[in-house]
Structure 1
Amino acid sequence: MKNIVLIGFMGTGKTCTGRLLAQRLRRVFVDIDKKIELEQGMTISEIFHTYGEAYFRQRERATIAKVARYTNTVIATGGGAVLNPDNIICLKQQGVVIWLTASPDVIFERTSRRRGSRPLLDRPNPRDAIAELLAERRRLYQAAADFTIDTTAKKPWQVVDEIIDVLQQGGYLRGRSRSKSWQG
């Protein structure tokens, strides 16, 4: 089975949605950022501050190259994974790519809960940083995506239902994977 790859800006719900989706489909879940943190023994924020963004992007590239070879896995990438075209080429070889979006205001609200762990938003005006980064990355997300799902006004289980629906309609999944127990 092909991997299901979630891309999108920070705060669009890739990790939460990915974890739920993997549970629903009985697949392994891999969060690229968490895997890097485990391998490096430090948080993404600490990696950025200690070694810089270029070093982090190298680790991200190596981790994606490894994880992209998995099968039957739900993969949540970091928000900047699309900056390196090799990442997307790798991920698309074994996977279907879903771009999770959200409005800038919702992204700001969601990311403000964990501001210290978001090094790219560590600026005087994080709202402006979100707008700038979204503008820079939008075309990269669009080019990489097989499907796009807006998470703005949705609960994670609703996003999971929508992902399952589009994957079934696209012929990537068979059968129904709905469970009313997830709608709590």
Structure 2
Amino acid sequence: MKNVILIGFMGTGKTSTGKMLASKLGCAFMDMDQKIEEEAGMRIPEIFAQQGEDYFRQLERGLVERLSARRNAVISTGGGTVKNPANVASFKKSGIIICLSASVDAVLERTMRHGTRPVLDRADQGDRRKAVEMLMEERKDLYKQADFTIDTSELSPLQVVETIVRYLKTRGVLHA
């Protein structure tokens, strides 16, 4: 089976959906952020603070290359992975790219906790909405590169998984 690559803004459900989807498909699940943290020996906020975003993006790029060489995996990307066109090109060659989207309100509700979202944590609470809106606007064309997009705002992870499975069947990636 081709890889299924989940892209989308932070808080859209890539990790929770990815785990359930991988289980349903009987394949490996790879969470890129988690893998980068394991390999770097520190959390992403620490990588950003100590090494900077450019260093993080280099780690991310290397991981994309390694994961694109695999098959039979569900891959959950970081929210900014699509900022590098080479990442998108690599993933397009190895699989189907599915974008999970959500409303600003849903993202704000799902990303409330500080300390886990370096890009948002720079903004104080009043500016988090503006930060989310600005980043979503900045990345919207990047997310349009997906083969399929699902708005997860009002859906449970199980409903998202069922929608993805239906889509994969119509594309001939999965057989009925």
TM-score, normalised to structure 2, is 0.97
Of 164-173 and 5-14, deviating more is 164-173
SS in 2 for 1:164: helix
Equivalent residue runs for 1:1-184 within 5 Å = 1-112=1-112, 114-122=113-121, 123-124=123-124, 125-142=127-144, 144-175=145-176
The separation in 2 between residues aligned to 1:69 and 1:15, in whole angstroms, is: 21
Q: CA deviation at 1:58?
A: 0.6
Q: Identify unmatched segments of 5+ residues in structure 1.
A: 176-184
The separation in 2 between residues aligned to 1:67 and 1:149, in whole angstroms, is: 23
The separation in 1 between residues aligned to 2:173 and 2:151, in whole angstroms, is: 20
Identity value in percent: 51
The separation in 2 between residues aligned to 1:101 and 1:117, in whole angstroms, is: 19
- Match of 2:116, as an amino acid? S
Q: Which runs of 4+ in 1 moved over 2 A?
A: none
- Match of 2:128, as an amino acid? P
Q: CA deviation at 1:116?
A: 1.0
Q: CA deviation at 1:126?
A: 1.1
**Which string of whole-angstrom CA distances, capped at 9 and with x for unpartnered residues, describes residues 17-47 of structure 1?**
0000000000000001100000001011110
The separation in 2 between residues aligned to 1:45 and 1:70, in whole angstroms, is: 28
- Match of 1:64, as an amino acid? V
Q: CA deviation at 1:127?
A: 1.1
Q: Identify unmatched segments of 5+ residues in structure 2.
A: none
Equivalent pairs counted in the alignment come to 173
1:182 aligned residue: none
